[in-house]
Amino acid sequence: MNNTNKTQFDKQYLLDTNILLEDATNIFKLAEEGKNLIILPETVLDEIDSKKSGFEEINFQAREFARILENAKIEQSKQVDGHKLVRLKVVEPHITIVDIISKDDYVTSPRSVPLNIYNDRKILEIAKFANEYYNHEITFLSLDIMARTRALSMDIKTDSLIGSINDDFDFEFIKYVEVKFEDLESLENSDIYQYDKDHKPHNFSYCFKVKSSDQVILANIHNEKVRILDETEVRNQVITPLNKEQLFLSNALNQNYYNILIVEAKAGSGKTLLALSGALKLVRHKVYQRIIYVRNSIESLDKGEDVGYLPGLEEKFKIYNHPLMDSLDYIIRSEHKKKKANKKNTEIYTELDDQEVTLRIEQMIQNYSIETMWVGEMRGRTISNAVVIVDEAQNMSNKTMQMVLSRVDSSCKVIILGSNKQIDNFYVNKHTNSLSTLLRSTEDKSDLVNLFAIELIKVLRGPITEWAENTFSTKKS
């Protein structure tokens, strides 16, 4: 193939479907007001078209992309070596030039490759043609590492997403500082810079080690002032914090000062359990009226396929609330055990049977006004006077999290939970998911909200979970 026409664009990007379903407006960011050419294989359009129905974030993004193309005008159409090229121009809201490439006959056959990678192979066939047609100057963009690796083997330049932010941040959410014994009397409410000249906004918690002593004072920072933890009060809940990280988190849950808490945690570290225990305490003390549990409904399904058209939303999304129900089950049993232990009698302790636990869970849900929501039903709503627990944040795109948080008014406390070692959503990765974005946001002080962030690194579920974390983690802690 010999294309003698030198392209007039600075760059040419051929996009995989996941780039647009992560955020349809990525097309504008990449086009840079017409400076760069966007190339779309027909298979990408077919995949996006198949996602337009539904209430998941990818469905909204698919419809948004369809609206973008509605404003496009055809500038030219031609045939080249069995391929059809159609050039579109979008003027509003940003100038964007798009080449759509289709092919009459694909070498790839559904009989020769598994169906789950059939479309990927068709996209890469178009990428191979485009790489030659545009003078080997295209970059294939995909969030799928396997697709990018195969593209590299075909001598096609590739990237995950232009402008991806480096996720190698290592913020000290907990900092260790040595103080003198005579400082203890004036430590409370003192300026943090007296003890740490290098204090940063993301240093939310401090372990003050008393010089020449084994004593350690735990404190959080409020408006650059030291606030010592009242460990007796912090431990006064059904689920007792078991290490300093859990103490810091439980204290932040109890403090009215913080209205957004971001928790990055290993599996089995107790993040959901602690968040729910703290939320129950806040409702019991009438600080808030209810608890709302939000969990993204995209799980480890190939390319984010929908869970299916099961009858009724309650049944359809029941499987996604297992962490909440497991935590309530544990809290009920722990509360029963504590009450029995505190009674001054010789009554033999007996475990609650499953039927009684189920009844008590139902009563707790009613008494504490616990409500579950899935992302799709939050649009257009306003959430007030609630502790909002957003679970599995690592599986949410920035757009999804933006939508969720935009539903919450100033009378709420938001607890955001997640683990970057458990990403199941095909359309996000550790660079682009909302958990990473929120963790990076703590680098700067906000004048709008009072943030708190922490990492729970100790696995408490048991030795099997800890062994699995250590064995399969690519980044040892």
pLDDT tops 90 at residue 160: no
Sign of CA dihedral 272, 275, 277, 279: negative
Residue 312, pLDDT > 90, answer no
Higher local confidence (pLDDT), 275 or 348: 275
3-class secondary structure per residue, the chain: CCCCCCCCCCCEEEECHHHHHHCCCHHHHHHCCCCCEEEEEHHHHHHHHHCCCCCCHHHHHHHHHHHHHHCEEEEEEEEECCEEEEEEEECCCCCEEEEEEEECCCCCCCCCCCHHHHHHHHHHHHHHHHHHHCCCCEEEECCCHHHHHHHHHCCCEEECCCCCCCCCCCCCCEEEEEECHHHHHHHCCCEHHHCCCCCCCCCCEEEEEECCCCCEEEEEEECCEEEECCHHHHHCCCCCCCCHHHHHHHHHHHCCCCCEEEEEECCCCCHHHHHHHHHHHHHHCCCCCEEEEEECCCCCCHHHCCCCCCCCHHHHCHHHHHHHHHHHHHHHHHHHHHHHHHCCCCCCCCCCCHHHHHHHHHHHHHHCCEEEECHHHHCCCCECCEEEEEECHHHCEHHHHHHHHHCECCCCEEEEEECCCCCCCCCCCCCCEHHHHHHHHCCCCCCCCCEEEEEECCCCCCHHHHHHHHHHCCCCC
Per-residue pLDDT band at 410 (split at 50, 70, 90) = very high
Name the residue with higher pLDDT: 302 or 294: 294
Per-residue pLDDT band at 476 (split at 50, 70, 90): very low
At the fourth CATH level, the homologous superfamily of domain 12-159 is 5'-nuclease (3.40.50.1010)
Over residues 281-298, the mean pLDDT reads 88
The token pair that represents 9 in the structure block: 């664009």
The answer, yes or no, to whether residue 358 has pLDDT greater than 60, is yes
Assess whether pLDDT exceeds 70 at residue 5: no
The pLDDT value given to residue 8: 84
Question: What pLDDT score does 4 carry?
Answer: 44
| Higher-confidence position of 466 and 63 | 63
Q: How far apart are CA 94 and CA 78, in angstroms?
A: 25
Closest CA to 97 of 85, 86, 89, 109: 89
**Residue with tokens 């003390």, as numbered in its chain:** 285
If you average pLDDT over every residue of the chain, what do you get?
Answer: 85
pLDDT at 462: 54
- Residue range 6-34: average pLDDT? 89
Mean pLDDT calculated for residue range 305-327: 55
Q: Token pair of 101, please?
A: 């490439």
Residue 308 pLDDT > 50, yes or no? no
pLDDT at 458: 74
Map out the domains of the chain as residue ranges: 12-159, 166-228, 240-472
**What does each C-alpha distance from 192 to 180, 186, 228, 293, 398 come to in angstroms?**
14, 12, 12, 35, 33
| pLDDT > 70 fraction of the chain, expressed in percent and rounded | 86
Q: Is the dihedral of CA 301, 140, 393, 379 positive or negative?
A: negative
pLDDT digits (tens, 9 = 90+) for 429-473: 777 789 999 999 999 999 999 999 999 887 665 566 556 656 665
Q: Which of 104-118, 255-269, 317-331, 440-454 has the lowest mean pLDDT?
A: 317-331
Nearest to 31 by CA among 14, 46, 16, 56: 14
Query: What average pLDDT does range 15-37 have in this prediction?
Result: 91
Residue 235 confidence class, pLDDT cut points 50, 70, 90: confident
CATH topology for 240-472 is Rossmann fold (3.40.50)
How many whole angstroms separate alpha carbon 273 and alpha carbon 239?
Answer: 8
Q: What are phi and psi of 4, to 5 degrees?
A: -85, -10
Q: Could you read off the pLDDT of 201-221 as tens digits, one per residue?
A: 999 999 999 998 899 999 999
Distances (CA, A) of 100 to 37, 74, 194, 343, 429: 11, 10, 61, 74, 26
Using the Cα atoms of residue 418, residue 421, residue 423 and residue 428 in order, give the sign of their dihedral: positive
The most confident of 43-57, 277-291, 333-347, 397-411, by mean pLDDT:
277-291
Which stretch of 12-26, 213-227, 239-253, 331-345 has the lowest confidence by average pLDDT?
331-345
Q: State the Cα–Cα distance between residues 28 and 34, nearest whole angstrom.
A: 9
Read off the pLDDT of residues 121-137 as tens digits, 9 standing for 90 and up: 999 999 999 999 998 78
User: Of the ranges 25-34, 69-78, 372-381, 410-419, which one carries the lowest mean pLDDT score?
Assistant: 372-381
Question: For the CA atoms of the chain, what is the radius of gyration?
Answer: 26
Residue 109: the pLDDT is 81
HSE-up of residue 270 (Cα within 13 Å, Cβ side): 24
Strand partners, 262: 416, 453
- For 73-98, what is the mean pLDDT? 93
Q: How far apart are CA 400 and CA 58, in angstroms?
A: 9
pLDDT value at 475 more than 50 = no
Q: Model pTM?
A: 0.70
Mean pLDDT of 225-253: 91
Reported confidence tier of residue 305, pLDDT bands at 50, 70, 90 = very low
Confidence class for position 313, pLDDT limits 50, 70, 90? very low
- CA dihedral 113→116→119→120, nearest 10 degrees, is -90
- The mean pLDDT of 316-339, rounded to a whole number, is 77
301: pLDDT strictly greater than 50: no
Share of the chain above pLDDT 90, in %: 55
Task: Kindly report the backbone phi and psi dihedral angles of residue 245, in degrees, each rounded to the nearest multiple of 5, phi listed first.
Answer: -65, -45
